[in-house]
Amino acid sequence: MPECKLCDADFINSLTIYLKTDIATSLNSDNYLLRVFAYMDRRVGKRTLIKIKDKVEKLPEWVKKFYQIRCEADGIVFLPKPMIDKTVVLLSRGDSE
């Protein structure tokens, strides 16, 4: 996974953009900091947090952590997906004569 480093100016720039942008746009932004700010915003309700779950699963781990923190704070618990092993195992009978 590529490493991403942000400087103070990146953070301040993203925060400035966030304050001028509506929540829906921030939740769908390519700028991960805007998404993180939106996840922490109280204007984003439980229904919205639940609705965006599938989109969040495709994001980097550090972004997902903020989403998880917010969900936990609101008492939203997601059950883990059942593990489905798509590997097919062929069993052969031994030639016992």
Residue 1: is its pLDDT beyond 50? Answer: no
Write out the residue range of the structural domain in which residue 25 sits: 8-73
Read off the pTM.
0.74
- Domain tally, the chain: 1
Distance CA 31, CA 59 (A): 11
User: Tokens 């009978």, residue?
Assistant: 93
Whether 52 maps to a domain, the answer reads yes
Contact 27, 52 (CB under 8 A): yes
Whether 38 maps to a domain, the answer reads yes
Whether 95 maps to a domain, the answer reads no
Whether 88 maps to a domain, the answer reads no
Convert the pLDDT of each residue in 12-61 to its tens digit: 999 999 999 999 999 999 999 999 999 999 999 999 999 999 999 999 99
Whether 93 maps to a domain, the answer reads no
C-beta atoms surrounding 37 within 10 Å: 22
Place 88 in a pLDDT band, splitting at 50, 70 and 90: low
